[in-house]
Amino acid sequence: MTGQKVLLLGAGGQVGTELRRSFSGAPELLACGRQQADLSRPEKLRDLVREFRPDVILNAAAYTAVDRAESEPDLAMMVNAAAPGVLAEEAARLGALLVHYSTDYVFDGTKSGPWLESDATGPLNVYGRSKLAGEEAIQRVGGRYFIFRTSWVYGPHGSNFLLTMLRLGRERPQLRIVDDQTGAPTSSIEISRATLAALKRASDAPSGIYHMSCGGWTSWYGFACAIFRQAGTSAELLPIPSEQYPTPARRPRNSVLSNEKLRAVFGVELAGWEEALQEVFPRL
C-alpha cells in the first residue's frame, strides 16, 4: 500500500495481527485493538474515523465466539452488524474503501459443491446471522467495500483449532474429532497476504463479496490428522459424527467456498490448506 492512510481495527486478533505485519509498509497505519476502538459501542467509532480520515479501513474485529454467541445475541449483533454498518457510513463520507471479513457460516451447509458468492445464504446459528447482518448493513450503505468471506481461520496466535489440537495432543492419549463437517482451514497469514495483494492489484475492482479461503477442503478430523503428522504428535485420533460432539451452535455440514471470483477479479489465489499449514509451523 503506497500513499494510503490505513485504519486497522481488531489489531490483536488472528487476522488483525497478520494484517498489521502485511500493511506495516503503509505510510500511515493506525492499528487499534479493543481499547482504542470498541465495536460494541458503534457510535463511538465515528469520531475515530473522522479524526484519522483513513483511505482504507481494514475491519478485522469481530465477535467470533460461535457457541457463546447463542447466549449473547445482542452483543454479537452490535459488534458484527451494527459496527460494520457505522464503519461503512463513515467510509462512504470520506470516499474511503472498507475491507471487511465475513464467514462461511452464512451458509446452511446443504450444498454438495463449493459455495459461490451468488448462492443463497441461510445461517444456522446466531454468529452466522450476525455476520450476514453485517454484510447486509455494509451493502445497504453503498460505498466502496470488499467483503472477504473466509473459513476455519487459524494461525500462530490467538485461540484456534491448530493451537488447541497441539495442546490437547500433549495432554491426552486419544482425541475424538468431528469428521462430517467439511471446510477449508485458512491461515491468518494467507488471508493477510491475499488482502494486501488484492488491494495492490485491483483497488478499483467492483465493491462486493469475495470468497477468500485456502485451496482444497477437509474435515476437522482430516485437519487434526495433518496437524499431528506435521507436529509429530503420537496421540490417537478417532473420527466421530457431529451428533457425538454436541455444541450450543449448529454448524454447516459443507462450508467449502469457491474462490473463483477472487481469482478472476483480483488475480489472487491462496495456498492449498496443507501447504498453508506447513508455513505456519515455523512461526509457532
Ligand X SMILES: NC(=O)c1ccc[n+]([C@@H]2O[C@H](COP(=O)([O-])OP(=O)(O)OC[C@H]3O[C@@H](n4cnc5c(N)ncnc54)[C@H](OP(=O)(O)O)[C@@H]3O)[C@@H](O)[C@H]2O)c1
217 CB contacts (<8 Å, ≥6 apart)? 114, 182, 183, 184, 256, 273
- Dist. CA 131–CA 63, nearest whole Å: 9
Work out which of 1, 15, 214, 249 binds ligand X, going by CB under 6 A: 15
Does 73 interact with ligand X (rule: CB under 6 A)?
no
By CB under 6 A, the count of residues binding ligand X is 26
Q: Output the smallest distance, CB 111 to ligand X, in A.
A: 17
Nearer to ligand X, 184 or 237 (CB): 184
Does 40 interact with ligand X (rule: CB under 6 A)?
yes
Q: Grid cell 476437522 — which residue?
A: 220
| Closest residue by beta carbon to ligand X | 13
Does 39 interact with ligand X (rule: CB under 6 A)?
yes
Interface pattern 88-127 for ligand X (x via CB under 6 A): -------------x-xx-----------------------
Cα 238 to the center of its chain, rounded Å: 28
Q: Output the smallest distance, CB 142 to ligand X, in A.
A: 21
130, with CB counted inside 10 A (0-12, 13-18, 19+), is: buried
Q: What are 190's three cell numbers?
A: 494467507
Cα separations (Å) of 220 from 144, 148, 178, 179, 223?
Answer: 35, 22, 6, 6, 5
Q: What are 219's three cell numbers?
A: 474435515
Q: What are 121's three cell numbers?
A: 445464504
Interface pattern 137-176 for ligand X (x via CB under 6 A): -------------xxxx----x------------------
The residue from 63, 101, 127, 154 that is catalytic is 127
Specify whether 127 is catalytic: yes
Q: Please give the positions annotated as active site.
A: 127
- Which residues lie near ligand X (CB under 6 A)? 10, 12-16, 34, 37-40, 60-64, 79, 101, 103-104, 131, 150-153, 158
